[in-house]
Amino acid sequence: MSDLLTARESRHFRIQELHDTFNLPLISIKANIPGENKNISEAYLLVRLFLNELKPYVSIKYLEYKESMDGPYYLIVTLKDNHQDIKSILVGIEDTHPLGRFVDLDFYLDGQKSVSRGDLKLPFRKCYLCENDAHDCSRNQTHTIKELTSFIHKSIEKYLFNLVTDYAEKAMLYELNIEHKFGLVTKTTMGSHSDMTYDLMLKAQKVIIPYFGKMFIKGYRSNDIHNLFIEAREIGISAEEEMLKETGGINCYKGLIFVLGLVMLSTGYMISHHQQFDLIFKNVQNMTKDLLKEFDRDPITFGEQAFHTHQVKGARGEAYLGFPTIHLALVNLEYKDSLSDSALRGLLQMIILSTDDTVLLKRAGTLERYMMIKRKLSEVDTENLDEVIEFTKYCIKENISFGGSADLLVSTIFLFLIKKKLY
């Protein structure tokens, strides 16, 4: 007996065991991957994604994850016993989700045989290449394994590109729309930025968002994490040039292109190489291992001057260490599980106090004043709107901005959204 058949028998035996144990219906989530190799990275992505897609619709009594020669899969013991409702939900997801055709969502009432579409008089699944009956195409081997897997690769890549650009936009808007934000631009104020408006920030966002998608795909297709940052630099340069062209030379998001760009590269690499989520941060470290060598040259930018004068490393230092502040902020955000203004203001405060922000240092003028502003912020209760408004007025009056920390906040929100969706 082949390893594939053995793995399938083992899965069905486990389904029977779980049904006997709980005496409840079960759902199986398994990627629909053609060919002998069922353990491609896309299979792991698909089962995680569709587990998260199902969670709002089913009550989970017990959840089990397995890996096998037949691919990874989840088994869900569900409390819901109306089999027609559950099967209709599963069919709806398979038929309407952009990647639904690449996953099998099977429902078992008795632990023996799954409820079929035919049992509920529902139409059978169509082939994703020719729209004929999928079983006929499979039985007749109408399409080659290479054709089928190539279509899966391209479809998933397109889906992920759309997903990450959508989440990049959402993350930027969440940050931009926070009111009373310590001198940063909001919907109602330019803050301490005399050259920036809310509408200008939106224009800049629109221009750079596709480049974040390109950086993600660059990481997704790469097999060389150590040279990935160097290879992707041209994408970042192009994004910056297009942004400055759109804004008339005003730097709205140069820092974000660097920070979120690295996060995008690392996220793409992580997904395509079936890595654990927290390896995003190690990937950034591997990409930027030579980044601090830029401080060896004569200083050109303010960030380089800040290092030579005060040993403040700014965004480069964060990246070199694998964005420890983003990692800490993400844990905090997951604990709060809220993207409200109040929660995000508190997160921004934590980020500012945890990192070296060269934007703040430049505005502060001296290291002593920089530290004084941080101490003043540390005393603000972000749950107290009066205190927040008072400190925001102080920042505007004193021309203080925390732009570098805002970039880290956007990247934290992006990772929060991605992790909820795909992990």
Residue 144 predicted with pLDDT over 70: yes
Would you call 70 helix, strand, or coil by DSSP?
Answer: coil
Mean pLDDT of the chain: 92
Min mean pLDDT across 78-87, 249-258, 325-334 is at 78-87
The answer to whether the beta carbons of residues 286 and 322 sit under 8 Å apart is no
Residue 75 phi/psi, 5° resolution? Answer: -120, 125
Give the pLDDT of residue 305. 65
Q: 3-143 architecture in CATH?
A: 2-Layer Sandwich (3.30)
Give the pLDDT of residue 392. 97
Q: How confident is the model at residue 174 (pLDDT cuts 50, 70, 90)?
A: very high
**pTM (global) more than 0.75:** yes
Residue 295 predicted with pLDDT over 70: no
The answer to whether the beta carbons of residues 242 and 207 sit under 8 Å apart is yes
pLDDT in tens, 87-113: 889 999 999 999 999 999 999 998 788
Give the pLDDT of residue 347. 98
Q: How confident is the model at residue 142 (pLDDT cuts 50, 70, 90)?
A: confident
Min mean pLDDT across 113-127, 221-235, 256-270, 366-380 is at 113-127
Helix (H) or strand (E) holding 313: none
Give the pLDDT of residue 304. 58
Give the pLDDT of residue 302. 59
Give the pLDDT of residue 234. 97
Residue type, 188: T
Give the pLDDT of residue 417. 98
d(CA 35, CA 422): 24
Give the pLDDT of residue 242. 98
Q: What is the mean pLDDT of residues 185-205?
A: 95
User: Cβ-count burial of 135 within 10 angstroms (0-12 exposed, 13-18 middle, 19+ buried)?
Assistant: exposed
Give the pLDDT of residue 237. 97
Give the pLDDT of residue 365. 85
Q: What is the mean pLDDT of residues 341-356?
A: 96
> Is pLDDT larger for residue 358 or for residue 22?
22
Residue 308 predicted with pLDDT over 80: no
**Placement of tokens 């009432």 in the chain:** 109
Residue 76 predicted with pLDDT over 90: yes
Helix (H) or strand (E) holding 103: strand 103-108
Angle of the 198-221 helix axis to the 254-272 helix axis, nearest 10: 30
Give the pLDDT of residue 297. 63
d(CA 253, CA 212): 12
pLDDT in tens, 43-74: 999 999 999 999 999 999 999 999 999 999 99
Residue 113 phi/psi, 5° resolution? Answer: -130, 135
Distance of CA 344 to the CA centre of its chain: 17
Q: Show the tokens assigned to 305.
A: 């001057």
Give the pLDDT of residue 339. 98
pLDDT above 90: percentage of residues in the chain: 78
Residue type, 343: A
pLDDT in tens, 357-384: 888 888 888 889 999 999 999 999 999 9
Q: What is the mean pLDDT of residues 277-290?
A: 96
Domain ranges of the chain: 3-143, 150-422
Give the pLDDT of residue 60. 94
Q: What is the mean pLDDT of residues 137-147?
A: 87
